[in-house]
Structure 1
Amino acid sequence: MANVRLKKMKKNESSREDLEICSKQELIDKVLKLEAHVAQLKCVLGKNGREESQSATSKHKRPFDFTKCSQRHVFLKLLYLGWDYRGLACQEDSQRTVEHHLFAALAKTCLVRSRETSSYHRCGRTDKGVSAFCQVVSLDVRSCLSAAELESSPATVRGELPYARMLNRVLPKDIRVLAWCPVPAGASARFDCKLRTYKYFFPRGNLDIQAMNTAAQCVVGTHDFRNLCKMDVANGVVTFTRRVLSAQVHVRHSDSLHSSSKSGSGYDLCELTLVGQAFLWHQVRCIMGILLLVGEGKEQPEIIKQLLDVENYPRKPQYCLASDFPLNLFHCEFEHSDWCVDSQNIAEVITTLQSVWTNLSVRATMVRAMLTECEAMTEDGPIASQSSSLLQGVKAKVYQPLLQRQTCDSLESRINHYVKKQKLEIVEENSENKTSEVRTAT
């Protein structure tokens, strides 16, 4: 068979004379065929190389014996810059998630046997591009203390493994573990969180910050936010009442080049701060999207009250989300707050973040210098469009007020749609009061 293959390959070889008489299209076809063949060979060689390295590693490395170790339930406090990730939660079709790297680090340090056996919970599920300054997860991890020591003193931390330092050695630089906290076995980072704080950073541009802050106050309290979120009915979320404890829009940093200006500079950095018990999918970005319209003078601050009036406005008007990258989960508050902070680990985290800050600040200063030179060349006065890029989507030439736009499907029609597709089912709870509950179909 080897001889037959060689003969066939020789028969397909082309001499220089053969190529010179080929047409352009025939040469293109040959090149494309060769490139496809090379790509296929690279895949085969790469797969074989990975299999060989994995088999070699498995031969020399014995699996860790977790039966010889005790376990304890802990909170881990994480910080990550989500700009280059597709979100926090693991995804089947991508490794570019924070949880993928977190569990790869947990496995590499032999702190968990598997995600399925670790009693894992997360405080908040951040989406693609969103960062967290204080994400908290709960899980069972390996302990170097004996089961008797943990049973007699569950909160003891002396002599325990340096969890933060262990994980930070193998995590990417933009994902850091800040601290850990011993908690009771049933504690959950998701269900035991008392308060969550989100912040959204943005430049002043031409925005009316006072009008935005007036509008933001309208979200404070308990409201139905179906018009200020993305309704996740397919996953059984049919209740959109949430409580916002505080909301504020203010200038965080004034532009040093125009600090004497009474009206402020378009390069001032501002922030929206929202504090609540729980938030809906895209709730903060929807609120920020409306606030940007208010700041631009396209909507009045009262638009927030109107959108929260679901009796008169039961359908969400179509509008654009605010961009993802300025949003971060800033703080999570728990009753269990005895965080174990390793001073050496924090010093390393600070050094890492300072490196990121230096890189980004130098670039921002360079761009700011370019803007200063360009603005000096204009004769039409200052241009304040710094915040215009934060609203996603295509902008219409003629602005159409929100309440005059086309609307999305109502909550009831969405529920009926998924009930017909047998993804949801309506379960009667009390026939006398005619109350019912919507559940995901099993």
Structure 2
Amino acid sequence: MSPEYQSWTKEQLIARLNELESYPQASASTKKTTSSTKITTVTSPQKKTFDFTSHPRRKIAVKFCYSGWEYNGLAFQNGPTPLPTVEEVLFNAFAKTRLVDPDKGLDGCGWERCGRTDRGVSAAGQVVSLWPSMRQPSREETRSELRYVSILNRVLPPTIRVLAWSPISSTFSARFNCQSRHYKYFFSPQELDLGLMQQAADRLVGEHDFRNLCKLDPAKQITNFNRRVLLAKISPISDHLCVFDLRGTAFLYHQVRHIMAILFLVGTGLEHPSIVSTLLNVGKETNSPSELDNSPLEIVDRKPEYQMADGLPLMLWDCAYSDSDVQWQTDIDTGESGTGSELYHQLHSIYARSSIHTALDAHFLSAAAQLHSHPPQRFPFSHTGLALSTIPVLLKSKERPVLSVPLGGGTFKRTAKYIPVLLRKRLDHVEVANERWRVGKGERREERKNVADGIPQTEYDGDE
């Protein structure tokens, strides 16, 4: 959702120029920090200081969408990042509109996100909860209720759009009150057997230990990898696009992208659908036999090495809450010129231009196809009748051809010799990796924290 200034009206362009010119110079900017979270905001020394203590606060939840490829992930980072984070931009919008005190940072307003998305990953229904100020509305704003959607979207870039908000109880948590999270992963069905992929996806439903289908991060010291999947379904959207819907109560780090990587291997025919059941069998032999040789499934208590799928096609579609917890509402729309119509028009305009780009890219491919031959189709094996052992050798070199194994988002892993997942090198056991980090980087991090807090190291016990 990048800015499309060509489609803006003259009035919109003038308003945008005025907004940019109103920003103070970098020399006049002030860095606001708290002890736990640092947020950089730009303030003008000429403006009268806003007294947040004179206004009461109320707790709300905000639903918003964002283009992940434009940001360095969702979560605010203490150090410098190549791109801004979504939370940094969104918090600054709250601060600029005097809904939160920039001096107190994220912690000062009780900021809490529903779920974290990494760099490149988008969201259509992300949610944060916080305590904004109940400042008096301006003349342009409704007197009965603040128009949070229009207030925030007025200062946010087009790549982040606030969709709705809800009043919530003081005990509500955007993270822990969430009943389920729904992810969508879009991919091309070319050279994939969707039926085999669905057979593999069916094995995900239910509660399982997903340690072999996520990224293991010892810094988080996770010991419980059990998660419940409610839905795992592959559906065609068009002849050229499919979507994998995955809904669960909670997810592990990079879990969706690891699952998609395995589904791609199944779709090509490089792995059997039973690979999912085997990777979920982490601690005991199961009575369910393998579909390959009718023997008990292998125990896989350590994760095999494999590359996860690309992050660009992944979207956090929705965060579901009880109707008694949230009642999503938008600003009062006054017709064609209302806030809701304007927001829809903006997003539809972006979609229309993206469709044009897709059509142009398709014609580039058609032009190339007139002069360059299509590479031989080897996947899926279920359609071509091939197998790893029967792929024809190259005529000139007499060697096996390089295989392009899909990773999603138009990316591939090229390999001349495919090694089955269960035969690959395996990572350390979770307990071993966690302990090595705890007595290494973990202890050093705790020592630095204690020094910063003024605690003498002779009084510090690393096990506390």
In which range does the TM-score fall when normalised by the shorter chain?
A: 0.7 to 0.9
Unaligned runs of 5+ in 1: 1-47, 147-156, 255-267, 425-439
Alpha-carbon displacement from aligned partner over 1:237-284 (angstroms, at most 9, x marks no partner): 221010001100121123xxxxxxxxxxxxx21011011000000000
May I ask how many residue pairs the two structures share in their alignment? 358
- Report the CA distance between 1:411 and its aligned residue: 0.7
- Report the CA distance between 1:74 and its aligned residue: 0.3
- The residue number in structure 2 matching 1:50 is 26
Q: Which amino acid aligns with 2:150?
A: R
Matched position secondary structure for 1:423: helix
- Report the CA distance between 1:423 and its aligned residue: 2.4
- The residue number in structure 1 matching 2:88 is 100
Q: Which amino acid aligns with 2:89?
A: H
Distance 1:160 1:441 in 2: 50
1:57–1:331 CA distance, 2 compared to 1 (3 A): closer
Matched position secondary structure for 1:143: coil
Q: Which amino acid aligns with 2:436?
A: H
Distance 2:352 2:419 in 1: 42
- The residue number in structure 2 matching 1:361 is 355
Whether the aligned pair in 2 keeps the contact of 1:178 and 1:345 (CA below 8 Å) is no
Matched position secondary structure for 2:108: coil
Moved more, 302-311 or 158-167: 158-167
Aligned match of 1:301 in 254, 273, 276? 273
Moved more, 406-415 or 388-397: 388-397
Matched position secondary structure for 1:406: coil
1:414–1:53 CA distance, 2 compared to 1 (3 A): closer
- Report the CA distance between 1:371 and its aligned residue: 1.8
- Report the CA distance between 1:144 and its aligned residue: 4.2
Unaligned runs of 5+ in 2: 1-23, 32-41, 284-298, 380-403, 444-461
Matched position secondary structure for 1:72: coil
Moved more, 137-146 or 60-69: 137-146
Matched position secondary structure for 1:115: helix
Q: Percent identity?
A: 40
Whether the aligned pair in 2 keeps the contact of 1:307 and 1:313 (CA below 8 Å) is yes
Whether the aligned pair in 2 keeps the contact of 1:249 and 1:271 (CA below 8 Å) is yes
Aligned match of 1:420 in 431, 439, 459? 439
**1:116 pairs with 2:107:** yes
Distance 1:53 1:112 in 2: 18
Matched position secondary structure for 1:274: strand
Q: Which amino acid aligns with 1:74?
A: I
- The residue number in structure 1 matching 2:382 is none
- The residue number in structure 2 matching 1:67 is 53
- Report the CA distance between 1:211 and its aligned residue: 0.7
Moved more, 387-396 or 340-349: 387-396
Whether the aligned pair in 1 keeps the contact of 2:406 and 2:412 (CA below 8 Å) is no
- Report the CA distance between 1:348 and its aligned residue: 2.2
- Report the CA distance between 1:52 and its aligned residue: 4.8
1:272–1:52 CA distance, 2 compared to 1 (3 A): closer
Whether the aligned pair in 2 keeps the contact of 1:203 and 1:387 (CA below 8 Å) is no
Larger Rg over CA atoms: 1
Whether the aligned pair in 1 keeps the contact of 2:261 and 2:407 (CA below 8 Å) is no
1:387–1:140 CA distance, 2 compared to 1 (3 A): farther
**1:340 pairs with 2:358:** no
Distance 1:228 1:400 in 2: 18
Matched position secondary structure for 1:102: helix
- Report the CA distance between 1:235 and its aligned residue: 1.8
- The residue number in structure 2 matching 1:270 is 242
1:416–1:50 CA distance, 2 compared to 1 (3 A): closer
Matched position secondary structure for 1:398: coil
- Report the CA distance between 1:300 and its aligned residue: 0.7
**1:400 pairs with 2:419:** yes
Aligned match of 1:390 in 404, 408, 411? 408
Whether the aligned pair in 2 keeps the contact of 1:422 and 1:441 (CA below 8 Å) is no
- Report the CA distance between 1:441 and its aligned residue: 6.2
Whether the aligned pair in 1 keeps the contact of 2:65 and 2:163 (CA below 8 Å) is yes
Q: Which amino acid aligns with 1:295?
A: G
Q: Which amino acid aligns with 2:346?
A: T
Distance 2:440 2:117 in 1: 28
- Report the CA distance between 1:416 and its aligned residue: 2.1
1:221–1:410 CA distance, 2 compared to 1 (3 A): same
Flag the structure with higher helix content. Answer: 1
- The residue number in structure 1 matching 2:300 is 313
Matched position secondary structure for 2:59: strand
Alpha-carbon displacement from aligned partner over 1:383-432 (angstroms, at most 9, x marks no partner): 699983528675321111000111111112112212322728xxxxxxxx
- The residue number in structure 2 matching 1:169 is 154
Using structure 2 for the length normalisation, give the TM-score.
0.72
Matched position secondary structure for 1:86: coil
- The residue number in structure 2 matching 1:215 is 200
Alpha-carbon displacement from aligned partner over 1:106-126 (angstroms, at most 9, x marks no partner): 110000113221111100100
Matched position secondary structure for 2:265: helix
- The residue number in structure 1 matching 2:119 is 128
- Report the CA distance between 1:340 and its aligned residue: 1.2
1:407–1:191 CA distance, 2 compared to 1 (3 A): same
Whether the aligned pair in 2 keeps the contact of 1:198 and 1:329 (CA below 8 Å) is yes
- Report the CA distance between 1:160 and its aligned residue: 1.2
1:355–1:310 CA distance, 2 compared to 1 (3 A): same
- The residue number in structure 2 matching 1:181 is 166
Matches within 5 A, 1:9-88: 50-52=26-28, 58-88=44-74
1:380–1:180 CA distance, 2 compared to 1 (3 A): closer
Distance 1:387 1:418 in 2: 33
Q: Which amino acid aligns with 2:408?
A: L
- The residue number in structure 1 matching 2:18 is none
Moved more, 412-421 or 289-298: 412-421
Provide the alpha-carbon RMSD of the alignment.
2.8
- The residue number in structure 2 matching 1:12 is none
Matched position secondary structure for 1:60: coil
Whether the aligned pair in 2 keeps the contact of 1:82 and 1:129 (CA below 8 Å) is yes
